[in-house]
Amino acid sequence: MIAARASILARIRRTRAGAPLARTPMSAPLPDLGADLFARFSDRARALASDVIGPVTLDRALTDLATYLNDRHLPLTAVCWPQLATRNWRAAGLRVEARAARGDDLVGISGAFCGIAETGTLMLLSGPETPASVSLLPETHVALLPVKRIVARMEDAWALARREHARLPRAVNFISGPSRTADIEQTVTLGAHGPYRVLIVLTRED
């Protein structure tokens, strides 16, 4: 296989005449997001079938989330990120275990590293306190996102990640609504292998 590496690279180099690596920056106009990133984020997230609540205080967020689950006859038992373990779940009437998700968990509660206004997208970073499976295996995914963590574009999200983390985590997941498929007759169906619904609760503090 070392031979394969050498011969592939040799074939590539045969025709690459050592052009300068320096790049002339390309400027391409990007979508106008308006002044209000929160409004853009909420509109876009809803357009991609996420439910959005808030912004509310953190205490209110937990009770609103419980109400959301109740209204839809969803269980009040959930798995959550260890990072969120110390929140006052019991007061909101929720029974929550802090760990990675299992195949039979029905509700998963995560935070989010940031939100992206351009597309109404959540950005989640995996880690010991923030396992990726919580936003993936359960049928309902709830994400708590401080409203001040909404950035304009994906490029801004990368810049924020570079500022706050020495290196990329194992998994960066951008999530834009519930999982979906259009494989059968190009008909969009919500809920494929991941969550059937995504609730974003925007919070005012943190």
Partner 1 sequence: MQVTTLHFRRKAAENLANDQLQRALGRLKERFVGARAEALQDLPDFAQLREAAAAIRQHTLDHLDHYLERFEAEVIARGGTVHWAEDAQAVQRLVVEIARQHSAQRVVKSKSMVTEECAVNDALEAAGVEVMETDLGEYILQLAHEPPSHIVAPVVHKNKEDVADLFAQHHRRPRQTGIAELCREAREILRPHFLAADMGISGANFVIAETGSALIVTNEGNGRLATTLPRVHVAITGIEKVVPTLDDVSLLLRLLPRSATGQSITNYVSVLTGPKGAHDLDGPEHFHVILVDNGRSALLGTELEPMLRCIRCGACMNHCPVYQSIGGHAYGWVYPGPMGAVLTPSLVGLAEAIDLPNASTFCGACAVVCPVKIPLPDLMRTLRVRQLQQNLRPWRERLALRLWAWCAQRPRLYALLTALGARLLHLLGGRRGLIHRLPFAGGWTAGRDFPAPAGRTFRELYRARQPR
Residue type, 113: F
Q: Which stretch binds partner 1 (CB under 8 A): 33-41, 55-63, 69-77, 189-197?
A: 189-197
Exactly one of 57, 70, 77, 181 binds partner 1 (CB under 8 A); that residue is 181
Phi, psi of 129 (to 5 degrees): -95, -5
Exactly one of 133, 145, 150, 201 binds partner 1 (CB under 8 A); that residue is 133
Whole-number Cα distances in Å, 89 to 19, 75, 85, 162, 166: 59, 14, 8, 32, 32
Tell me if 193 contacts partner 1 by CB under 8 A: yes
Nearest distance in Å: CB 118, partner 1:
8
Tell me if 13 contacts partner 1 by CB under 8 A: yes
201's enclosing H/E stretch is strand 197-203
Residue type, 171: A
Tell me if 29 contacts partner 1 by CB under 8 A: yes
Q: Which stretch binds partner 1 (CB under 8 A): 33-41, 59-67, 89-97, 148-156?
A: 148-156
C-alpha 140/C-alpha 98 separation (Å) is 16
127 touches 167 (CB < 8 A): no
- By CB atoms closer than 10 A (0-12, 13-18, 19+), residue 112 is buried
Q: Which stretch binds partner 1 (CB under 8 A): 34-42, 64-72, 83-91, 126-134?
A: 126-134
Binding site for partner 1 (CB under 8 A): 1, 4-5, 7-9, 11-16, 19, 21, 23, 26-32, 44, 48, 82, 99-101, 103, 119, 121, 126-128, 131-133, 136-137, 153-155, 158, 167-187, 189, 191-195
